[in-house]
Amino acid sequence: MAVRRDPLDELVVPAGTEAKEVALETDGDVLIGARSTVEFGVRGRNVLAGENVEFGGDIEAGGDCRLDMWCDVADNVLVGQDAYIGERVHIGGELKVAGDLDIGDDVDIEEGFEANGWIVIRNPMPTIVFLFVYLKHLLLIGEEDTAQRLISELVDEEEGDEPDVEPLVIPRNATVGDDAWRVSTPATIGAGCRLHGNVRAETIEVGDDCNIFGSLRARGDVAVGDGVRIHGDLTTRDGDVVVGADARVLGDVSCRDLELGPDAEVDGSIRASGEITMGTTERERE
C-alpha cells in the first residue's frame, strides 16, 4: 500500500529529544535524508542516513547503523548490533560494531575498526536505508500489520523489546546544528523537547512543555503548545500564530492572525496584520 507522502518531507523531532552540546539524543531511531548536515553527534536506537550526509561528532547506535555512500562522520561510530557502511564513507575516528559488519569499497576509517560478528566487504544496497524509512513510517499512518510483516524481515525482534517510538526524521538537504535547524519542509517538534538553535521551516508545530533556545521562523503557520518557552522571536511570513496556555515568547511576534492562550506571555513587541485574540482563564470567565 502506498504511503500518503514521502516520509522524508518533514522534520520530525519526537517527544523528549534533547540537543546537548555535543550530541542530538533520542530514545528512538534516527532517519536522515541525503545531502544533509548534522553538526552534532547523534545518539539513538537505529541510525540510518542517506548518501552524502555529514556528521559533526560521534554516532552511537544501540541497534543497527546504516550509512549510505559518501557519508562523512567526524569522530567515532559505535554500534550495538549490525553496521552497514556504504562505499567511500569516511569515519574520522574508529568503528566498533558489536554484531556483523557489511562494508563497501573505498571506506576510510582513520583509527581502524573491529566487529564481533561476520565482516563482509562489498557494497551494501543503498536502497535498504530508505526502505527502512518507509517501513517505520507505516506505523505512523496506521498500517501496523503491513509494517510489522515487513519490518520483521529487516529487524530481529526478541521478546521483551521496547515498543516502537516515533523516529527522529531529518529531511533531505537539511542543516541541523547549535546555531540553526534549517529545512525547506514542515517541522513538528514533540512535547518535552530541549533544543538549541533557530528553527527555520515551511510550517512549525511545537508540542507542550518544550524549551527552544532560539527563534522560530516559518513561511506558513506556527503553533506553540502549552507551557513552551521560546528564547527568541517568533515570526511567519504569510501565516497565523497560535501560542498555547502559559507559554512564553522571550522576543517579538510577527504574523497575520495571532491567538494567545490563557496566561501566555510575549516579552517583545507584537506585529499582527490581522486579528489578535486572547484566551481567558477559568477564573476570568467566572
Alpha-carbon torsion (115, 121, 126, 131), positive or negative: negative
Count Cβ atoms within 10 A of the Cβ of residue 134 and give its class: 0-12 exposed, 13-18 middle, 19 or more buried: middle
Residue 280: its pLDDT value, please?
65
pLDDT less than 70: residues of the chain = 1-7, 122-164, 280-286
Enter the C-alpha cell of residue 189: 517538534
Distance of alpha carbon 282 from alpha carbon 260, whole angstroms: 15
Angle at 270 between CA 245 and CA 205, to 5 degrees: 45
Length of the chain: 286
pLDDT of residue 66: 92
pLDDT, tens only, 75-111? 999 999 999 999 999 999 999 999 999 998 899 999 9
- CA-CA distances (angstroms) from residue 195 to 165, 177, 181, 208, 232? 19, 10, 10, 13, 12
pLDDT in tens, 158-196: 444 444 678 899 999 999 998 899 999 999 999 999 999
The CA-CA-CA angle for residues 206, 215, 252, to 5°, reads: 105
User: What is the pLDDT at residue 123?
Assistant: 58
Kindly report the pTM of this predicted structure. 0.82
Assigned C-alpha cell, 37: 548536515
